[in-house]
């Protein structure tokens, strides 16, 4: 789920070797190693020139099943902007053109600061492929009645396996990465770097607080009995991030997603300067606002109409389309609009 923690000296000075990912089954048993030199590209699922990311589908030689590889250019770090980093003697410039005082070049900095963040999902399921594929997106205004009738039966049937979450909570995986661990079964949580963060670059800081209490699927399940848990996550999370990363609570975006990517309650902590995925109004609910709403109306999120986005490859889209709540746009109409 996530990467090495910033106190790990070995991670602060990354090894520039062939990328190897050890794959473990749901019981944590290692069965093999994955190497990128053995990856065979089949299809580009998604590419973003804005975020400098690409997600591809393929297979590893001599292995069954498909894999998803997600590549992301790392953010610039202030500590690399010196004569040991981008401005070192080992940095090369390739000139495209120069006109008077203006020059355009391609820069080749030292390999030690030129890594590409790589995430591998193997074996990937059809749901993973749908999640990472580029596709049309729609907004649904979900009433409590629609949640009970359409959304809840779907998510209970088709949600992602949560074993990786339980591995973290039970202490069998990623323990060296944990930033804070409150072991109270009712109000406790684990705070650790999100998969999308390298665990080092403050400018892209992104942590997850995963609650210990099981059975809370999402925002919809929250009521006044959960206020002590939510306040503890907010207050302890802010305090720990300030101590460890020197980022003040007033510089943090603390929020929940609806719909979440997995149905075990978790809270996102990101740096305000970082435009992380899923921070927009149709997806993100600030934790302070959630607490305030529940303080006013104890069962607010059981009564509220909540927006969420669905994509046309998601199975839940078919459910909402069949019941007349979204409409698929024909491909020929999209092509006309693009022209």
pLDDT more than 90, % of the chain:
60
Residue 79 pLDDT: 84
pTM over 0.75: no
Contacts of 290 (CB under 8 A, 6+ apart): 219, 222, 230, 256, 301
Query: What does the pLDDT look like over 9-54, one tens digit per residue?
Result: 322 233 333 344 444 444 343 445 889 999 999 999 988 877 788 9
- Whether 189 contacts 208, CB under 8 Å: no
Alpha-carbon torsion angle 119, 125, 129, 131, nearest 10: -80
Confidence of residue 163 (pLDDT cuts 50, 70, 90): very high
Per-chain mean pLDDT for the chain? 86
Q: Which helix (H) or strand (E) holds 303?
A: helix 300-303
For residue 102, is pLDDT > 90?
no
Residues 195/206, Cβ–Cβ less than 8 Å: no
Which of 50-64, 119-133, 261-275 has maximum average pLDDT?
Answer: 261-275
Question: What integer is the mean pLDDT of 296-304?
Answer: 98
- Provide the annotated active-site residues: 266
Q: Which CATH number fits domain 135-322: 3.20.20.210, 3.40.30.10, 3.30.428.10, 2.60.40.1180?
A: 3.30.428.10
- The strand pairing partners of 309, in sequence order, are 139
Per-residue pLDDT, averaged over 216-227, amounts to 97
3-state SS class at 316: helix
The model's pLDDT over 120-143, given as tens digits with 9 standing for 90+, comes to 999 998 888 888 888 888 999 999
Q: Which residue has the higher pLDDT, 236 or 75?
A: 236
Kindly report the length of the chain.
339
* pLDDT (0 to 100) of residue 22: 44
Q: What confidence tier does 154 reach under pLDDT thresholds 50, 70, 90?
A: very high
Pick from 21-35, 54-68, 248-262, 271-285: least confident: 21-35
Q: How confident is the model at residue 148 (pLDDT cuts 50, 70, 90)?
A: very high
What is the mean pLDDT of the segment spanning 94-118?
A: 88
- pLDDT exceeds 80 at position 229: yes
Query: What's residue 242's pLDDT?
Result: 98
Q: Is the pLDDT of residue 151 over 90?
A: yes
What tens digit of pLDDT does each residue of 181-194 get?
999 999 999 999 99
Q: Is the model more confident about 227 or about 114?
A: 227
Q: How confident is the model at residue 329 (pLDDT cuts 50, 70, 90)?
A: confident
Q: Where are the domains of the chain?
A: 9-74+115-119, 135-322
- Residue 308 phi, psi (nearest 5): -155, 160
pLDDT of 336 strictly over 50: no
């Amino acid at each position: 789920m996530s990467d090495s923690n910033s106190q790990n000296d070995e991670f602060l000075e990354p090894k520039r070797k062939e990328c190897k990912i050890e794959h473990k089954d749901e019981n944590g048993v290692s069965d093999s190693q994955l190497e990128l030199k053995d990856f065979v590209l089949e299809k580009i699922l998604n590419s973003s020139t804005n975020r400098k990311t690409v997600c591809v589908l393929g297979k590893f030689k001599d292995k069954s099943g498909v894999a998803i590889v997600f590549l992301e250019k790392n953010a610039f770090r202030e500590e690399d902007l010196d004569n040991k980093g981008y401005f070192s003697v080992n940095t090369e410039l390739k000139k495209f053109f120069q006109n008077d005082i203006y020059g355009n070049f391609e820069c080749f900095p030292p390999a030690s600061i030129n890594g590409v963040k790589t995430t591998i999902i193997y074996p990937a399921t059809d749901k993973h492929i749908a999640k990472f594929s580029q596709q049309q997106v729609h907004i649904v205004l979900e009433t409590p009645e629609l949640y009970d009738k359409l959304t809840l039966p779907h998510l209970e049937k088709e949600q992602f396996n949560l074993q990786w979450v339980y591995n973290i909570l039970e202490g069998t995986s990623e323990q060296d990465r944990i930033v804070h661990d409150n072991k109270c079964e009712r109000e406790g949580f684990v705070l650790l770097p999100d998969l999308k963060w390298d665990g080092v670059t403050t400018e892209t800081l992104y942590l997850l607080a995963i609650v210990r209490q099981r059975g809370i699927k999402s925002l919809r399940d929250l009521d006044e009995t959960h206020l002590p848990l939510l306040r503890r996550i907010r207050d302890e999370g802010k305090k720990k991030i300030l101590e460890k990363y020197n980022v003040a609570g007033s510089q943090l975006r603390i929020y929940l997603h609806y719909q979440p990517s997995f149905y075990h309650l978790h809270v996102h902590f990101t740096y305000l300067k970082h435009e992380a995925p899923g921070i927009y109004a149709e997806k993100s609910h600030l934790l302070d606002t959630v607490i305030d709403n529940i303080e006013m109306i104890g069962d607010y999120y059981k009564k509220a109409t909540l927006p969420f986005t669905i994509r046309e490859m998601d199975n839940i889209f078919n459910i909402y389309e069949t019941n007349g709540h979204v409409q698929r746009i024909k491909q020929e109409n999209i092509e006309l609009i693009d022209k």
